[in-house]
Amino acid sequence: MSNAEQIEYWNSKVGETWVLMQERMDLALTPVTSALLAAAAPQPGELVLDIGCGAGETTLAMDAVVGEGGHAIGLDVSEPLLARARERAAALLSEAEFIAADAATWAEETGFDLILSRFGVMFFNDPGAAFANLHALAAPGGRLVFACWQPAARNLWATLPMTALAHLLPANPPIDPLAPGPFAFADAARVATLLEAAGWQDLAFHSLPFEMLVGEGDDPIASAVQFNMRIGPAAKAVREAGIGDAAKTILAEALQPHLHDGQVRLAGAIWLVTARA
């Protein structure tokens, strides 16, 4: 997708669905968020920019740390998700600011001590130009910290549903692995080249395997099926193919072996990337 297509996509019913799934997603990504915040190490008084902030989980966490002397700004292209973020900020009496903007070109403020992102940087149509723009927004010595997915083969949460449903889905042409999308930054060497060309220094890539919680409650399997029918690669494929009823049965069977102690968890792996301006 181009940036324009991404903006249209995230302002469609997809954005509304992610609002409904906000609590589930934040819970599923708890290990990622904890690692991201630890690596970012925000300090009181800092100016922080959150790229692809979504419903505001990481922005609000940053704002709580930087305090009255600092400020946290969240950027996103999805108006539905930003509306949810503002609701959460109001409930928490947070001063975090949420702006509808494309981070690839936004330049309303500079001097950021910290720029971070939880899965918001892999969708740029021109990632080199976008990282150069982010570099221009950073203060001298400013930190960049983001999470991006490792290859799909290490992310069972993405591959299991698609594999289970493959016989019901139409054949699609091969996907360009470098095209904007969840796994566009799976190749750490490519990402390093992009960052260095944009002026970022002191790069480090930390591998973080984790387990994504996709189902729990009174009926963990039904919960996990619902999760996969609304979020992730299978959700879009099922919707476009019109195979919802059949998909539920097949997914329930495929997810059953991953039910342990009342929870369904699927393996995932990210790169936690750090750099300095």
pLDDT tens by residue, 87-103:
999 999 999 999 999 99
pLDDT in tens, 160-208: 999 999 998 888 777 788 888 899 999 999 999 999 999 999 999 999 9
Among residues of the chain, what percentage have pLDDT more than 90? 83
Instruction: Please calculate the CA angle 172-176-178 and round it to the nearest 5 degrees.
Output: 150
Quick check: 15 and 191 in contact, CB under 8 A? no
pLDDT, residue 216, reads 96
Angle between helices 220-230 and 244-255 (to 10 degrees): 130
pLDDT in tens, 43-78: 999 999 999 999 999 999 999 999 999 999 999 999
146 CB contacts (<8 Å, ≥6 apart)? 36, 51, 116, 117, 118, 120, 121, 272, 273
Q: How many residues does the chain have?
A: 277
Name the pTM for this structure: 0.94
14 CB contacts (<8 Å, ≥6 apart)? none
Give the range among 21-30, 138-147, 230-239 with minimum mean pLDDT. Answer: 230-239
- 251 pLDDT band, cuts 50/70/90, is very high
Write down the mean pLDDT value for the chain.
94
- Per-residue pLDDT at 116 exceeds 70: yes
| Cβ count within 10 A of residue 257 | 9
pLDDT, residue 2, reads 57
Neighbour-count burial for 98-131, b at 16+ CB within 10 Å, e otherwise:
beebbbbebeeeeebbbbbbbbbbbbbbebeebb
